[in-house]
Structure 1
Amino acid sequence: MLRILLLLLCMLVSPLSRSETESSVSLLDNRFRVDPTIEQISFVIYRKKPSKAVVLVRPDGKKYYAWDYPDNVSWYEENGLDIISIDKPMPGPWQAIGKITPKNNIILLSNLELRVDEFPSRLFEGERLKFTARLLQDGKPLVLQDFLERVRLQVAFLPYVENEEVLAEALQPEPIMLGSFMDDGEGLDEYPGDGIFTAEVPVDVDPGKYRTRIVSGNGVFLRAVEQTSLVYPSPMTVTFVRARDEEKQHRLMVTGEQGMLMPGSIAVTVTQTNPQEEQRVTQSSSDKDSLTADFMLPADEAPGKHTWKGTVFATEAGTKRPLILTIPESSFSVMRKLDVEKSTAEYHRIQEEQKRALELARIKRERDEAIQSGMLTIIIGNVVVILLGLVIWFVISKLRIRKVEKPEMQLDAPPKN
């Protein structure tokens, strides 16, 4: 009976083992087929950690590497993951060669579409704009978080040039990067991970005509979306009148341009920062039929640098589009107040100290000169004494020599008669 049970158990285990082996071989093969109808495809390839980037082999045997691939391919690489996007891929069987994990191994994303908001026909210099984008697969929202988290969409403005594509690369306008899309539920993004990317675009460019491009900053999504936008000068003027007396306040006037902004729609928020980095917020708005918000700001007379900046909320007159406009940061300095009596006393004290210092320096200089003069006199006197001594010694020596040479008893001859 036991033998029969063992035989039955072996019969059950054998096909299961064979099936598992076939599954493993299938995963290790890492082949996948690209249909001729596919115009764009992305491969999300999970690798073992640590490992090198995979080698991607086309149906005709040509190999793509993370450091060597054609212009219609983009390659994003990080530890344990490759995301490869191909525009107009070759139909047929492809293969990825590398240490690919059995779990998840390769995910194919085809026919991806980047759908973005339309920029308003008229933008304003200094405007802040909420802009959203969605990634769709076959018309449905893409939900693969590993892909969405690495797309890194950016907004670029390029000065408009006719027939830009025929210009040499050196003559083509440089893109001005103005914002990045996020799907993290922070800032202007409403919900994290919902597949809707949100960017806060500051229109910090000069008025003019621009091409606006939404591109993947790291190439995860290969295709860019392009629109044409017109940027107009700011539709408001800002006048700041600084207080000159500590009992008074600063005055701020924000005036909308007639025909550009709706009367009564202007609301202003101003943030002031004093030298101690303390902030104070003041808010005001225009009257119902007015285009001007005229209000006072508290004056802080603390010595040092003071800054202020603001945000203006308004409505465009023609389109009824809500606007968010920025007031750039400005600064002014407050000098320390002058106490005349104290300053005069301090001035006299400094003058006395300087006089005292000059007198001490004079006395020290005269004393040093006297010491030097005395030392010189002593040195000269010593030299004179030494010289006189040498002269006397020399004369005495000569006299002694002569005396020795003359005989003591030598008599002089008598004179002749």
Structure 2
Amino acid sequence: MRIGLTGLMLLYCAVFSATMMADTPQITLLERDGKVNEIPLLDNRFRIDHNVKKITLLFFRAPGTPAVVLVKPDGSKYYATHAIADEKLEWYDEISYDLVIVTDPMPGPWQVLGQIRQDSRVMVLGDIELQVDPLPPLIFRGEMLKIQGQVTNDGQPVDIGYFRDVVTLYVEFVSTNNDQYANFGAGTQSVAEFKDDGREFDERPLDGIFTGEFRLNFPAGEWQPEFYIETPILKRRVVKDPIIIAEPPFSFELMLAGQEDFEHQLTIRLESEVVKPETVIFQGKILYPNGEEQMFTLNGEERLYRQLAIKNYDWGRYSVELSAFGENINGREFMARLPDYNFEIERPIEKVPELPESERPTQRVVTPPEPEPGLSTGAIVAIVVVGNLLILLLGWLAVRIFVQKKPIKLKISLPFIGKKKQLDLEELDQNAENSGKPSSKNDKSADILNLSMSDD
């Protein structure tokens, strides 16, 4: 699929020496002749012709450094923040590059200021094309596929490393929503992202070719592959014809071990209409209920089935992980990760033998305890009434003492207490009268102590 983009020029820049030359730097004119796509950039200066209506400038700088500054021919400057208010300026400030799009640029010599990388080039962007290898016609679910993609400019690979650093190839499979297949309504499956960085499945870094592998780990059915690159610099998408992703050409049959057998038998049957049986090799791992793991390999044979012995560890859950390697009937080698095969043996229920009637324990008849006597209705009513009265009394006392600040005066008159007080008062009055009368002589003589001795 070829998509043209004309009238768009891309300035691809890097850092030069900080020391400015004493002589007047050479100025390069941006023009397109259809043959040369790269022009050296000298002393971070370039010239825009008066016929240019729109230009896209790409400046690669050291990661984490500030955005570059553009100096126009009249001496004024363009900053990244000017794109907010200026409709003729678009600025994408990324971590390692600046993409600047200028509409109706001022003709004349321009200069860029910043920590730009070395080996700068001015690249005139022509017809950009995304080329992707076609997918094989016979594929099935779980298979691992390898693809290659390339971005070209006017039919030639883009031979600038910094340019390829910001390009990522995305792979998607879109369901055709054909109700005849199991993937009806499955939507879009994002499969993989590839970079030309020499990591993971990419074969060589910065060779202009995106190499990658991905697994078809989604439902089988009719799918439409789509490959695209999408960056602030460019957008390209390749839509392939719909393909059929089949179910794996393998089926499984399990024969459980008997009570006296030591192994279960798992039979894997191959479909000779899809694969060559003599080339198919199975490799995987058995997970037993007790946590034990067993690796296995089933080599290629001409027969249409393979048998795998699984140890009988009594009841529990068993799981078999499988990978298949071989060739299909078209002669293409494949590598597939098959879905896990799981089975479970239920725990046996042990039956307890019944005891004879004579040995069974006698059942004791337990009489229910007599209910405790409860309170009568009248007693309950009396308790409720007394409780309410007590609550009212306590509330009244609390209001009088704490709210009204009044003392509690209790006037209680008892007969015997009043009579005793009256007798005490009469006795006091009588004593007072007696003390007021003059005493007699005899009384005085009586008060004198007789100290004389008797004649006897």
Shorter-chain-normalised TM-score: which range? 0.5 to 0.7
Listed one character per residue, the Cα deviations across residues 268-290 of structure 1 (whole Å, up to 9, x for unaligned) are: 223333467664332214423x3
CA drift of 1:153 comes to 0.9
Paired with 2:310 and 2:24, the residues of 1 have a C-alpha distance of 78
Q: Say if 1:143 and 1:254 are closer, same or farther in 2 by CA, change over 3 A.
A: farther
**In the alignment, which residue of structure 2 is the partner of 1:157?**
173
1:114 aligned partner, one-letter code? L
1:224 aligns with 2:231: no
Q: Say if 1:83 and 1:325 are closer, same or farther in 2 by CA, change over 3 A.
A: farther
2:130 to 99, 106, 114: 114
**In the alignment, which residue of structure 1 is the partner of 2:326?**
314
1:262 to 276, 299, 304: 276
Structure 1: 5+ residue runs without aligned partners?
Answer: 1-15, 58-62, 162-172, 345-351, 384-417
Q: Say if 1:202 and 1:93 are closer, same or farther in 2 by CA, change over 3 A.
A: farther
TM-score by length of 1: 0.56
Paired with 2:171 and 2:98, the residues of 1 have a C-alpha distance of 24
Q: Say if 1:132 and 1:97 are closer, same or farther in 2 by CA, change over 3 A.
A: same
**In the alignment, which residue of structure 1 is the partner of 2:21?**
19
Paired with 1:252 and 1:76, the residues of 2 have a C-alpha distance of 59
More helix by share: 1
8 A Cα contact 1:243 1:299, kept in partner = no
Q: Say if 1:227 and 1:106 are closer, same or farther in 2 by CA, change over 3 A.
A: same
8 A Cα contact 1:151 1:218, kept in partner = yes
2:308 to 289, 293, 296: 296
Larger Rg: 2
CA drift of 1:23 comes to 5.8
1:313 aligned partner, one-letter code? F
**In the alignment, which residue of structure 1 is the partner of 2:222?**
208
Listed one character per residue, the Cα deviations across residues 23-43 of structure 1 (whole Å, up to 9, x for unaligned) are: 699989865659999x99772
Listed one character per residue, the Cα deviations across residues 334-376 of structure 1 (whole Å, up to 9, x for unaligned) are: 44555656x99xxxxxxx9xx99xx9xx99xx49x54xx3x74
Paired with 1:330 and 1:126, the residues of 2 have a C-alpha distance of 14
**In the alignment, which residue of structure 2 is the partner of 1:328?**
339
Paired with 1:316 and 1:269, the residues of 2 have a C-alpha distance of 17
8 A Cα contact 2:129 2:152, kept in partner = yes
Give RMSD over aligned pairs.
Answer: 5.6
Listed one character per residue, the Cα deviations across residues 386-414 of structure 1 (whole Å, up to 9, x for unaligned) are: xxxxxxxxxxxxxxxxxxxxxxxxxxxxx
CA drift of 1:328 comes to 1.5
8 A Cα contact 2:167 2:195, kept in partner = no
Q: Say if 1:188 and 1:51 are closer, same or farther in 2 by CA, change over 3 A.
A: closer
TM-score by length of 2: 0.52
8 A Cα contact 1:55 1:66, kept in partner = no
Paired with 1:151 and 1:254, the residues of 2 have a C-alpha distance of 44
Paired with 1:283 and 1:234, the residues of 2 have a C-alpha distance of 22
CA drift of 1:267 comes to 1.9
Paired with 1:250 and 1:66, the residues of 2 have a C-alpha distance of 70
1:81 aligns with 2:100: no
Structure 2: 5+ residue runs without aligned partners?
Answer: 1-17, 28-40, 73-78, 178-185, 355-360, 383-456
Corresponding pairs, count: 322
**In the alignment, which residue of structure 2 is the partner of 1:10?**
none
